């Protein structure tokens, strides 16, 4: 080592998406000692939305890995250290290239007042003075779990002892991350000794599944859910879809389903009741001007929610074309981060699997999610007590009860029903 203090640069988890607070290190593509060019892929990051390759923000030699494969780190937390070429070591202003010295790193730097964006957002949401929260990460740094524990314990947390620091190669416990397998003491559950038989199969939990679990826990723990279900007569909608499906397939080369018709009705109802297109923010309810609908698309391993932007400005045909594109790219693993960002309301066609009723979890931090259930042909009482066989379907709404109440959601669902039942043979789709 040179007599001069060696200068190293931290590479941190970038802010990949609007609602992203953490990511799991999926796979390292470089090892300590490797020389890395700027923009060369360092590793793979897994989020609950997509998996992405992370390029190096600088050129240099990878000195130390701080976050191991399978571990989860907050946005802004360091994942590795890179030594830049001596002639090219600048004073940087880019926060993803913060310069540290190897000597300082070994002496446990004071990280207690360095807050990640995730921590700052939580503190703002819960109106917390972070000076009152004791951090449990390296150097006393505060992570998301510290803040959530502080809130859960009535703003009077008694934190565990900070993790022990080790200066050995690849043993640094980096600030702002926790092992994906660790859970707060209040949430820890021991597996009963008799719960696993000798012939039972153990299915490893993938990083994507762990992140989905984290987001779902966040949804149910932070959002007070309520539910509402209505039944709509979609007979005319089905007739209209049948009328157009062959022409549409010939013209566009894709299949026309009932989904874009339902989505159009939902979007029109959101325009009438814009409070459904909102999010909670401590002292304010933020009503989003643009209607960007997240579409839940399932695969064997997970569910992703790519976004149709400005859905209210699109025709039924336009929605059908964009839906088809998103589904194909989701199932072939070709969605991008930008495809996942900015959703303001979520739609899920659970009827595709034969579901009759759902109680979906809200896509945090949105205010609501709606599901369209399977269409069932059944006898229904119509005019003058006559009975007819009609195509009926349920729609189920999950709502954030901090923002929405039964009255407004009842009006919203009734409006969705009205739009669905107004379709007729004269409705145009272009």
- Which own/partner pairs from 167-173 qualify as long-range (CB within 8 Å, at least 24 positions apart)? 167/106, 169/32, 169/64, 170/32, 170/64, 170/65, 170/68, 172/64, 172/66, 172/105, 172/138, 173/137, 173/138
Go through the domains of the chain in sequence order and give each one's CATH number.
Answer: 7-116+169-178 (2.40.50.100), 224-422 (3.30.559.10)
Overall size of the chain counted in residues:
430
Query: Going by C-beta distance under 8 Å and a sequence separation of 6 or more, which residues neighbour residue 57?
Result: 11, 38, 94, 96, 97
pLDDT given at position 125: 72
Residue ranges in the chain modelled with pLDDT below 50: 1-5, 87-112, 156-188
* Calpha distance 339→359 (Å, rounded): 26
pLDDT digits 0-9 by tens, 100-110? 444 444 443 44
Q: Using H for helix, E for strand and C for coil, what is the string for 301-330? A: CCEECCEECCHHHCCHHHHHHHHHHHHHHH
Digit-coded pLDDT (tens) for 130-180: 888 887 765 566 777 778 777 776 654 333 333 333 333 333 333 333 333
Question: Across all residues in the chain, what is the average pLDDT?
Answer: 82
Residues noted as catalytic? 401, 405
Helix (H) or strand (E) run with residue 348 in it: strand 345-348
Handedness of CA 418, 424, 429, 430 (dihedral sign): negative
Distance, in Å, from the CA atom of 95 to the CA atom of 12, rounded to the nearest integer, reads 8
Q: Which residues contact 126 (CB under 8 A, 6 or more apart)?
A: 147, 151, 282
User: What is the per-residue pLDDT across 373-412, written as a single tens digit (0 to 9) for each?
Assistant: 999 999 999 888 899 999 999 999 999 999 999 999 999 9
**Residue reference for tokens 């972070």:** 130
């Amino acid at each position: 080592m040179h007599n001069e203090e060696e200068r190293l640069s931290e590479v941190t988890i970038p802010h990949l998406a609007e609602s992203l607070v953490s990511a799991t290190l999926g796979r390292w593509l470089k090892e300590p000692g490797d020389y890395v060019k700027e923009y060369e892929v360092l590793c793979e990051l897994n989020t609950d939305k997509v998996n992405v390759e992370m390029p190096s923000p600088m050129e240099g030699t990878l000195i130390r890995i701080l976050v191991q494969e399978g571990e989860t780190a907050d946005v802004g937390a360091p994942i590795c250290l890179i030594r830049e070429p001596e002639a090219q070591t600048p004073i940087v202003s880019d926060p993803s290239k913060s310069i540290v010295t190897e000597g300082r790193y070994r002496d446990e730097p004071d990280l207690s007042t360095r807050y990640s964006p995730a921590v700052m957002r939580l503190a703002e949401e819960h109106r917390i003075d972070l000076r009152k929260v004791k951090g449990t990460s390296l150097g006393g740094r505060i992570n998301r779990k510290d803040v959530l524990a502080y809130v859960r314990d009535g703003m009077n947390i008694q934190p565990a002892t900070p993790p022990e620091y080790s200066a050995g190669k690849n043993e640094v416990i980096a600030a702002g991350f926790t092992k994906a397998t660790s859970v707060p003491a209040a949430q820890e559950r021991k597996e009963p000794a008799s719960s696993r038989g000798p012939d039972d199969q153990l299915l490893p939990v993938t990083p994507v599944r762990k992140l989905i679990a984290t987001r779902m826990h966040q949804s149910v723990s932070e959002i007070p859910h309520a539910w509402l279900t209505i039944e709509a007569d979609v007979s005319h909608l089905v007739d209209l879809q049948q009328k157009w499906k062959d022409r549409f397939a010939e013209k566009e080369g894709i299949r026309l389903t009932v989904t874009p018709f339902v989505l159009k009705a939902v979007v029109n109802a959101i325009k009438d009741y814009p409070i459904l297109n909102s999010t909670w923010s401590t002292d304010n309810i933020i009503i989003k001007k643009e209607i960007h609908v997240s579409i839940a698309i399932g695969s064997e391993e997970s569910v992703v929610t790519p976004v149709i932007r400005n859905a209210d400005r699109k025709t039924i045909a336009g929605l059908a074309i964009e839906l088809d594109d998103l589904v194909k790219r989701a199932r072939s693993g070709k969605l991008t981060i930008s495809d996942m960002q900015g959703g303001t309301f979520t739609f899920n066609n659970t009827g595709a699997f034969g579901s009759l009723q759902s109680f979906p979890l809200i896509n945090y931090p949105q205010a609501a999610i709606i599901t369209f259930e399977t269409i069932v042909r059944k006898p229904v009482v119509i005019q003058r007590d006559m009975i007819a066989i009609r195509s009926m379907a349920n729609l189920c709404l999950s709502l954030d009860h901090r923002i929405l109440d039964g009255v407004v959601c009842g009006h919203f669902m009734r409006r969705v029903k009205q739009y669905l039942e107004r379709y007729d043979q004269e409705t145009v789709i272009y």
